[in-house]
Chain A
């Protein structure tokens, strides 16, 4: 019996030791941010620096900044929020707002930050995260849009319309080593990715959704699919296979005259290494000659989103940190260093943006862009488009059949999501 008492006392002693250690640990606050920004472009390091500068005046506060790919961030946050735990702040893209709102795992920010504060941001930035009459994120930067990038060493003036694009593209798609295959291309981009197809769809007068209703089985879709198909098989100005990394590498190597890519990549084409082969410039994606419309890349941006479970001291820290990072000073630092368009209206109008030809070109493209639908049905539209777009680009399905298949698939997916 004595032994039993001794053992019990030992267990109690251990507990007594553990509890104060845990209590002491609780006094310190670790604030966790999940961000889609990676180390590659230096933005993650910048966030870590911002966080540590912010924490300097707050004893006991430490930040943990964790990077996930865009999709991983969405999935991991969903899983974490389901368990009622996870990060204290999200630094992510606007299209996450749709599913997060449907799942009720983020907070609206209107009351937390007030009308006056949110009113300081450019309207398109806020519109991208407005749902059910509420705002679900605080904008960090706006844009996230595609544009035409070109190498002035190969092409002096960018094409103004698609007829010119094809003409110039044919001239610049060349077999330099005479092995029967081109090694320099007129145009490169991520051929099979629906996000990169969206500008063309807009240029032909279509759009994936009308409100929450899919509008994929349209003549505009047929024309747009036929156009991208012909760029590959009729005009032969794009490579037979080309994904994001392939396009990026060809352009950086000086083996592509034009590239369609997003504002997130702007800084990467202005490094000393790339400058040796690329004299970088930016323009609008050429107007669609058949319709007289400018292609409309999807615009969105990068946002702070606050988890629904955030409360108390951490909520206050989140609010202060968000205000700190969206100050004009910090926004312009991101603009200067990483060529991102600021979300604050005052910063967007600053000379720093208007005097920089690259940023000016980016802003000029954004003007003809269209906000990416935030509704959760957009997820179904992406997934309906992908395999059918792939089929057209593999020359295994006609544009007409693909458009019909996209519409049917999207309707089915929306039905299943709502089941």
Chain B
């Protein structure tokens, strides 16, 4: 191990300090200019709100809008390993890139539609169990009990462990001979499973790991939602003679929806784009059997150097998620409260 000396610490602090100083100076200059231009010179009525928004606006432009625009620019290019710096941009390249996403296998054998179907299965199964598990645990925790804080802390552990460590630890647990999963199966009198060399079982293995990782997030969010529901609603329901199930269906679920909707959307987007778990455990293998859209995108760009194609492919994945989020919001009316 490289020892942690004062030199290293001070160097680290100086680096962070320098970055902060640049950021603060940038904001001060920006706000100063905005004040002079908007308030003093133009006498703009909404100068203050504009000044408050400007730093966030600049950050969003730099971190989201510009990279997105650059991705679209690359999607219309022929950038590849041999044309890394001297690539050309044109409509025909863009058309070819977008068509290539759908007409040829994205990887060696797997096509876009196979990957899309697999990604939808991966996302649906994961999010379903995240919500179900999270809801179940949150309801259990949302009642008076001894040692609640201890349980809550223990249940959050999978979320608190860095994903890389958790995924690599789980990879070991799926080892054919020495892994926990097969040892347990054998103790139950069942045959061991080749978790990591059979594509079907490998896919189940990565799903199991991701379910384990995702439940605590949902549990925390749902628990927050449950605690905000006033007990008066339940009292009223009990007076009306509602059963536990009826209370859950007619009081808990509707009142949880404003919390659950964004959590589910986030869960879907994260799971749909979850790269770490699959890549760390199986690298998309064996036989491309656990690749989903985002891991195949990574391979196309960083292993096959297809930058133009990769940018078009990324845009297609973005559009799928955007359309999904729009439909989901419309159907559930989840953000209604935010508009009204």
Contacts and interface: CB of A to CB of B under 8 A. Distances in A.
A48 B194 contact: no
22 contacts: A7-B35, A14-B25, A48-B2, A71-B302, A75-B302, A78-B302, A102-B81, A181-B177, A192-B285, A240-B176, A240-B194, A241-B194, A241-B197, A379-B304, A379-B305, A387-B108, A388-B287, A394-B194, A394-B287, A416-B309, A417-B80, A417-B81
Interface in A380-403: 380, 383-384, 386-388, 390-391, 393-394, 396
B28 to A, nearest CB: 7
B84 A102 contact: yes
Interface string A49-86: 00000000000000000000001000100100010000
B287 A14 contact: no
B285 A390 contact: yes
B78 A390 contact: no
Nearest to B79: A82
Contact of B303 (A11, A82, A243, A379): A379
B85 A11 contact: no
A11 B28 CA distance: 8
Nearest to B288: A387
Interface in A29-57: 39, 44-45, 48
B84 A387 contact: no
Given A11-B32, A18-B25, A192 B108 contact: no
B130 interface: no
A75 B172 CA distance: 27
B36 A4 contact: yes
A192 B286 contact: yes
Which residue, of A7, A44, A239, has the highest number of chain B Cβ atoms within 10 A? A7
Nearest to A232: B197
Contacts of B84: 78, 82, 102-105
B286 A394 contact: yes
A186 B304 CA distance: 37
B36 A45 contact: no
Contacts of A292: none
Contacts of B177: 181, 239-241
A3 interface: yes
Given A14-B25, A394-B287, A387 B40 contact: no
A39 B2 contact: yes
B266 interface: no
B33 interface: yes
Contact of B287 (A48, A82, A387): A387
A384 B109 CA distance: 10
A416 B32 contact: no
B41 interface: yes
A157 interface: no
A289 B108 CA distance: 34
B81 A99 contact: yes
B41 A4 contact: yes
A44 B199 CA distance: 37
Contacts of A384: 108
A383 B286 contact: no
A418 B303 contact: no
Contacts of B175: 241, 246
A393 B287 CA distance: 10
B286 A7 contact: no
B311 to A, nearest CB: 13
A309 B287 CA distance: 39
Nearest to A25: B18
Given A39-B2, A387-B286, A418 B80 contact: yes
Nearest to A249: B178
B198 A394 contact: yes
